[in-house]
Structure formats: structure tokens, C-alpha cells
Amino acid sequence: MDLQAFLSRQPPDYADTRALGRCLWALVEASLDQLPLPGSGRTLERLQRLAEVGAHDLGLCKLYEGHTDALAIIQQLGGSPTPGSTWGMWAAEPPQAKVRVSPQGQMVALNGRKAWCSGSAVLSHALLTAWDEQDRQQLVAVALDQPGVTVTDEGWQAVGMGATGSVEVTFDGAEAQAIGNPGDYLQRPGFWQGGIGIAACWYGAAQSLAERLRTHCAQREEPHALAHLGAVDSALHAAAEVLRVSALAIDAAPLDDAEMLARRVRAVVEHAVEQVIQHVGHALGAGPYCKDRQFARLIADLPVFLRQSHAERDLAALGKQVLNGTWTL
């Protein structure tokens, strides 16, 4: 069964984190989590699969993207994920939530608190950033079903993306395995390539919203709604082209620094998605917000997921890179 056929058999609205977890497990059991690695020559296929899940449900997409990102990172750094496992990729580093790592025989011990741990109550493993005794960032893989790992109910009061259960997790001597060397998480080529995958998730969700507008326009011809549909189409076309070009660029030079490429792609797709949200809302009015549960869930989830971008901070970082570059056609 391909991914699209699998998703067509799933409910489009997941009530809670456990429902998302069950669906992710089913995806793993069907081997639908085995995406081409970034830079493998099939990067566009990877982005397309992420977009398909994003169009179906953003909560599921959040867990699926994190899981597939973790699998890619482990493989890129020479590791081997436990067969049949489900993974979180937890790399947020707020100052009040930092995990420390110390040697413990062939393994390492984790102590501290990690924030923004999506799916922590339903996943089997997590790949997370921690800090060693020399204050260097180190990736570690940890099984979550062990003493010393506590999934709290703290740090997550969201309405949009609420089902992802992105709570805080504490570690008290939990055993983990170091993945790669200190600094590898940010220094490897796949870091920025993976950031483009997030943009593909945004795009898929926006495409789903756009489809509702197209259905509306097909049922009744309204000049203003058609104008909104035209604006949505042009925004999504630009986003799709940028994602396609980025996939080709990554496959052509898989070891190149993709930071500028990723920042450009994310900026273009973010702007396009914001345009889609605005135009679809203006065209359809309050009806689907109030009477279409899947639409209401998606329109609440997407702005939250979109804030994985840091808005003007990311644009300023791109601007600094532009100062040292040139524009070409």
C-alpha cells in the first residue's frame, strides 16, 4: 500500500495524542516511514511524502516528520535505528530546559529537562540534543520506556496542534547512546536539508485548505471567491516551484552547505502559506470555521506549525547572507 492509499483509510481528525501515536505505529508497520534520504537523488519524493501527510493532518505530520527526520539523522551519522521503533526529534534549546550528558560505560547518562517534546507520551524512542561536560552539543538516542524518563503534563496548553502533546520531559540518570560526535547535529549537511522538509509540511496543509476553496468555487461561481482562488493558486505555485528546485539542488550537491537555500525556501513557503490562510478565510467566511471540524482543526493547527519559523529573525539571518551573495536568474 502506498502512503496516499494508507491515509485515505485513516480518519482525517485525530482526537488526541494516542490516536496520533497509533497512526504513526501503523505507518511504521507498513514501512511507510522509509523515505529517501535528503541528497539521495530522490529528495523531491521525500518532500512529496511529507506534504501528503501534512495535507491529511498536521498533528500526524508533526510526529511523522520528526520520526522520519530522526531516522535520516541516525543513518547519516552511522547509526542504526531499532526496527519497528517510533522516534521523536527533540532539538529545541530554551534556556530553562537543558539536558546534560555524562559518560556511563559504553553509554551515557542523561539528566535535566527537555521542552517541546512532541509525541513523548506515545513514542518508543527519542533523538535529542544534550550538552556534555565540555559544554558541547551532543546528539543522543534514548528509549523512553525506562526508569529515569518522566513525561510530564507541563509546558503545553495549545489549542492549535494540541494533539501532538508537546510537553516537557525530565531525565534522571536515564541511559542513552551517543549518536555521532559533539557538534555533528548542526554541522552535518543534512541539518539545513531537513529544514526544507518542514516547509513541505506547511505546503501540504496549505494545499488542503486551497482544495476546499476550489471545491467551493466549483459549486458556485462568485467573482470574489474566484479572485481569491487565483491568488491562492499563484502563491502555491511559487511555493511548489521553490520546493522542486531545492530538491534538485540538494541532489546535485548533497554535501554543500544548504543554509541559504533552506532559509530562502522556508521564507517563500511561509509567505505563500500565510497568503493561503488569509485568502481562503476571506473567501469562505465563517461557515467552515464553525461547521467543518477538519477545516477548523487545520486552520487552527497551521499557524502554530508555521511558527517553527522565527519570522523576522529568520529573514534577518537570510538578509545577512544576502549581503555576501549575488542574485542570478
What are the φ/ψ torsions at residue 2 (nearest 5 degrees)? -85, 170
Helix H or strand E encompassing 140: strand 137-143
Encode pLDDT of 165-179 as tens digits: 999 999 999 999 999
pLDDT grade for 12, boundaries at 50, 70 and 90: low
Q: pTM for this one? A: 0.96
What's the CATH number for 88-182?
2.40.110.10
Range(s) within the chain of domains with CATH label 1.20.140.10:
186-323
Between strands 149-151 and 167-179, the pairing is antiparallel
Burial class (CB in 10 A: 0-12, 13-18, 19+), 193: buried
Range(s) within the chain of domains with CATH label 2.40.110.10:
88-182
Residue 26 confidence (pLDDT)? 95
CATH of 186-323, one of 2.40.50.100, 1.10.1760.20, 1.20.140.10, 3.40.50.720: 1.20.140.10
Encode pLDDT of 95-139 as tens digits: 889 999 998 878 999 999 999 999 999 999 999 999 999 999 999
